[in-house]
Homo-oligomer: A and B are copies of this chain.
């Protein structure tokens, strides 16, 4: 707990996620995302209402969690799919997962290392918590759009290649 995680933040990695988030929102959803200053998240706080979780394997470990307020998620999905899905429908969850997959996948392309990403799991439920790796900085990238705010939480680190 006394580890100085702040000094371990990989700013180049965070920049890839900022770039990817802006690109995906602009090209795939038609929405401009403004990004506020990324910051370290220290504690287990409730996440927003809708979270997409992408796990990393191979030469990266950890996860990226993209978390939306309900109404922001609904509006972004509507802009992305042209459909107004019910929040409890599979189609809504699929669309949120696809947005998260594109953001994580686009950033991963530029890592230059051999990492795998899992198919996103989408969690829906008010005030749920999603836990993180404690020995890796969890960097929150706050994003603002015309439909409201969401956050991209990057909680991954490089590992030495191992046999799987």
A residues bordering B, Cβ < 8 Å?
44, 46, 53-58, 61-63, 65, 88-90, 93-94, 97, 114-119, 121-134, 164
Contacts and interface: CB of A to CB of B under 8 A. Distances in A.
Contacts of A116: 57-58, 116, 164
A123 B128 CA distance: 7
A163 to B, nearest CB: 9
A115 to B, nearest CB: 7
B127 A131 contact: no
B55 A55 contact: yes
10 contacts: A53-B53, A55-B55, A57-B118, A61-B118, A123-B123, A123-B130, A123-B131, A125-B125, A125-B129, A128-B128
B128 A125 contact: yes
B118 A129 contact: no
A121 B117 CA distance: 14
Given A58-B58, A122-B130, A123-B123, 8 more contacts: A44-B88, A53-B55, A58-B164, A90-B131, A90-B134, A116-B164, A125-B125, A125-B128
A63 B131 contact: no
Contacts of A127: 125
B93 A62 contact: no
Contacts of A132: 121
A55 to B, nearest CB: 3
